[in-house]
Amino acid sequence: MNQSQYPSTLLQKAVTEISRLPGIGSKTALRLALHLLKQDVVEVDTLADSIKELRHHIGYCKVCHNISDTDICEICGNSTRDKATICVVENVRDVMAIEGTLQYKGVYHVLGGVISPMDGIGPADLEIESLVERVKLGGIDEVILALSPTMEGDTTNFFIYRKLQDTDVKISVIARGVAQNDELQYTDEVTLGRALAGRVPFKM
Residues that bind its own copies (CB under 8 A): 1-2, 5-11, 13-14, 16-18, 20-23, 28, 30-37, 39, 41, 43-59, 61, 66-69, 73-75, 91-93, 95-96, 99-100
Q: How far apart are CA 45 and CA 48, in angstroms?
A: 5
For its own copies, the closer CB: 41 or 200: 41
Q: What's the closest the beta carbon of residue 202 comes to its own copies, in angstroms? A: 33
Helix axes 9-18, 26-38, angle to 10 degrees: 120
Q: What's the closest the beta carbon of residue 187 comes to its own copies, in angstroms? A: 24
Distance set, CA 70 to CA 59, 66, 186 (Å) = 7, 10, 45
Q: What's the closest the beta carbon of residue 1 comes to its own copies, in angstroms? A: 6
Q: What's the closest the beta carbon of residue 126 comes to its own copies, in angstroms? A: 13
Q: Is 99:111 a contact under the CB 8 Å cutoff? A: no
For its own copies, the closer CB: 21 or 174: 21
For its own copies, the closer CB: 99 or 133: 99
Radius of gyration of the chain (CA): 22
Q: How far apart are CA 21 and CA 24, in angstroms?
A: 6
